[in-house]
A and B are shown apart, each in its own frame.
Chain A
Amino acid sequence: MSAPELVRSGSTRGRGRHGDTLVVQKPRRSRQWVLGRVVTHGCIIIGVVFALFPFYWLLVMSTSTTAQIFGYPPRLIPSTHLLENLRNVVTSVDLPSSLLNSFVVSGSLAVLVVLFDSLAAFAFAKFRFPGRNVLFTVLLATFLVPGNLSLVPSFILMSKLGWVGDLQALIVPGIANAFGIFLLRQFATASIPDELVEAATLDGAGFFRTWWSVAIPMLRGGLAFLGIFTFVTAWNDYVWPLVVLVNPQRQTLQTALAQLNSVYTTDYGMIMAGAVVSVVPLIGIFLIGSRHFIANIAAGALKG
C-alpha cells in the first residue's frame, strides 16, 4: 500500500498539479490518457463555441440586410452591409448622444467609485478611529438591501429632486457602493504595510496625503479591477435607466437599443448594428483588463 503512494507523492508534489500524475501507472495509462485528452478538449471546445457563437451571429446579422437575415437557408458568413445598417441606426435613434451618455455615466461612475471607495477603504483598513467596527458592520449590512425593492420610491425621490431624465440620477446613487469599499479594504489590509503608513504619518503627511501617495499607488491592481467592474456594470444597467430616463432625448445605449428593438422590428440588420455598438466597447475593455478581472472576480467570491 505504501510503496506506490511514496512514489506518487514524490513525483507530484514537485509539480503541484494533479493533471499528469502517477509515474507508477505509466504503462497502462497511455491509451486512456489520449482518449481522455480528446474528450476533455472536445468538451471545452464545444463550450467555447456555445459561448462565442451568439457574438459571431450578432456580427453576421449586423453586416446583413434584413432580407438576408430572414432568408432560408440562413447565411452563415458575414455580409457587407454594416455601414449601411449603422447609418440607419443613427437616423432612427440618437445613437451618438446615447453612446456619449453611456460613456459619461459609466466613465464618471468608475472614476468616482474608485476615488470614494478607496478613501473609505483606506480609512477602514488602516486606522482605528472610534466607532470603526460598528460603522463597518453597518456597511456590510447594506449588502442585504435588494436593489429592485425600491424601484418605485427611488423614482419618486428622483422626481422630487427634479432629476428624472437626467444623468445624475444614474450617477449619484451609484457613487458609494459597499461592495467596492469591502473589496478595496481587503486589498488594503493585505497589501499596504502598516510601517509605510506610519512612516508617512511621521513625515507629517495627513490622511489625505497618505491616501494619495501611499494607498493609491499600492492599490493599483484592485483599483483597476473595481474601475473596470463598475464601468461594465453601469454600462449594462438597464432597469434603472429604463425607469428614470423617461425622456427619449436622454438615453443610455441600453435603453436606446431596447427602444430600437421595440419600434423597428422590421429592420433587423439595423437593430443588430446598434447591438454591436453597445457590445464592442465592453468586450474591448474586458479583453484589455481580463487578467485582473477574472482573477479578482474569483478572489472576491471566494473570500466573500
Chain B
Amino acid sequence: MAVTLPTGTSTGSRNRPDGVTVARRGLRSWWPQYLAITPFYVIFLVFGLLPILFSIYLSFTDWDGISQIKFVGLQQYNYLIHDTRFWNAVGNTLIIWVISTVPMLFIALVMAFLLHQNIRLKGFYRVAFFVPNVTSMVAMAIVFGSVFSDSFGIVNSALTALGLPTVAWLSTGWGIKVTLAMLVIWRWTGYNAILYLAALQAVPSDLYDAAKVDGAGFWRTFFSVTIPMLRPVILFTVITSTIGGLGLFTEPQILFGAANGNGTVGGVNEAGMTIVLYQYNQAFSQLDFGYGSAIAWALFILAAVFAIINWRLLRDRDTIPAPKRTRKAGR
C-alpha cells in the first residue's frame, strides 16, 4: 500500500487514500479508464465464464462432439459414482499428492532454513534451486522416464552398482506413483524453498536470538520458531500444492499416456492414471464430452473440499504460536 501524502487541493479535487483523483465527473469522462479495463472482462466472459457455464450444461448430456446433444440428466454423475476407474484415478491422485507434498514441503523448509544462515554463494544456490521450476515439464518428464527406466535407467544402474536390488519404477503400482512424486518433488521443492526463504527473512532476528539464549538447538529452533512463524506461507504453499497435485496431468501423460510402450494408458493397472488424465482420455480419446465435463466438475468439488479443509486446519492453529512465543521471550 502506498502512503499517500495529503497534498494540496489547488484543483479543487478530493484526495483519497487509494487513488489520485479527483473532482466528481460524469461517467462519460472516465471512458479511457473503462476502455483500459474492458479487454479483461470481455476476454474473461467469452473464454472463461462462457465455457464454464457450458460445461455445467454438458455434464448433464451425452455428446460425442459431432452428433445431436442428448440431455440425460444426472446419468453421467450416476455413472461417475459407480465408475471404479474414476475412483482409482482419485485414489492415485491423492496418494501421489501426499507422497509428493509432504516430503517436498519438509525438504523445502529445511533448505530455506539452511539458506537463511549466513552462507556464501547464496545467490547461486537460490538460482540453482529455482531452475527446475522454470523448465519444460514435457522435456523433464521424458528425462525422468529415462532416469527411472526399469532396465536401462541410471537409478537402477546405481542401485546395482551399490549391490542393491533394482526397482521396477515404471511397471509396478508403487514404482509408478513414486516416480511421478519424484518429478513433482524435483520441480517444486526449490520454488517452495524460495517462498519460505523470503518469509524467513521477514522474521525478526530477536526471536532466533531468544531461542539461542534459551539453549534451543538446531531442531528445537526449527520446530519452535521457524515453523510457527512461517504458518501463513505454509498455508499458501499447501493450498497451491493441493491445487497443483489435484491437477496433475503433464507428467503422467508423458510417462504413461497413449502409445508409449509402458502398457495401457495410465501405466500398469492404471496406477499412474490421475483425475485430469482420466478426464482428458474420456473427453478427447473416447470423445465422451458429457462424461468428461462431469469428471471436471467432480474434480472441482474435490478441490473445493480440500481447500476448505486445508484452510480450516491451518487457520485454527494460527492462534497457538503467539502465546508460546511471548512466554519464551519473557522467561
Mark A residues whose CB is within 8 Å of B.
Answer: 4-5, 8-9, 12-13, 16-22, 25, 36-37, 40-41, 43-44, 47-48, 50-52, 54-55, 57-58, 61, 69-70, 72-74, 116-117, 119-120, 122-130, 132, 135, 138-139, 142, 145-157, 172-173, 175-178, 181, 189-195, 197-198, 201-202, 206-208, 211, 232, 235-236, 238-239, 242-243, 253-254, 257-258, 261-263, 265, 268, 271-272, 274-276, 278-279, 282-283, 286-287, 290, 293-295, 297-299, 301-302, 304
Task: Report B150-185 residues with CB < 8 Å from chain A CB.
Answer: 152, 154, 157, 161
- Provide the B3-26 mask, 1 if CB < 8 A to any CB of A, else 0: 011010001010110111110000
With A19-B118, A153-B52, A189-B18 as known contacts, state yes or no: A12 contacts B43, CB within 8 Å: no
Cβ-defined contact, A8 with B146, below 8 A: no
A152 to B329, CA, bound (A): 56
Chain B residues with CB under 8 A of A202: 11
Cβ-defined contact, B119 with A40, below 8 A: yes
Task: Report B95-134 residues with CB < 8 Å from chain A CB.
Answer: 107, 110-111, 114-119, 125-132, 134
Cβ-defined contact, A18 with B138, below 8 A: no
Cβ-defined contact, B249 with A54, below 8 A: no
6 CB-based A-B contacts, threshold 8 Å? A58-B139, A119-B36, A263-B259, A278-B139, A295-B198, A297-B191
Name which residue of chain B comes closest to A157, CB basis: B51
Mark B residues whose CB is within 8 Å of A.
Answer: 1-2, 4-5, 7, 11, 13, 15-16, 18-22, 27, 30, 32-34, 36-37, 39-44, 46-52, 54-55, 58, 65, 107, 110-111, 114-119, 125-132, 134-140, 142-144, 146-147, 152, 154, 157, 161, 186, 189-191, 194-195, 197-199, 202, 205-206, 208-209, 212-213, 218, 233, 236-237, 243, 247, 249-250, 253-254, 257-261, 276, 279-280, 283-284, 289, 292-293, 296-297, 299-300, 303
How far apart are B172's CB and chain A's nearest CB, in angstroms? 20
Known: A157-B46, A262-B258. 16 other contacts (CB 8 A): A25-B212, A57-B147, A148-B249, A150-B54, A153-B55, A157-B47, A176-B41, A176-B44, A193-B2, A207-B36, A275-B136, A278-B139, A282-B134, A295-B198, A298-B198, A302-B198
Cβ-defined contact, A40 with B297, below 8 A: no
Q: A17, A18, A126, A261: which has the most chain B beta carbons within 10 Å?
A: A18
Name which residue of chain A comes closest to B107, CB basis: A47
Complex partner residue of B37 from A9, A12, A123, CB under 8 angstroms: A123
Cβ-defined contact, B115 with A44, below 8 A: yes
Chain A residues with CB under 8 A of B300: 146, 149
Chain A residues with CB under 8 A of B15: 194
Q: B58, B117, B125, B243: which has the most chain A beta carbons within 10 Å?
A: B117
Chain B residues with CB under 8 A of A175: 39, 43
Name which residue of chain A comes closest to B291, CB basis: A152
Q: Which secondary structure dominates chain B's binding surface? A: helix
Chain A residues with CB under 8 A of B128: 48, 51-52
With A148-B249, A302-B199 as known contacts, state yes or no: A236 contacts B37, CB within 8 Å: no
Name which residue of chain A comes closest to B203, CB basis: A18
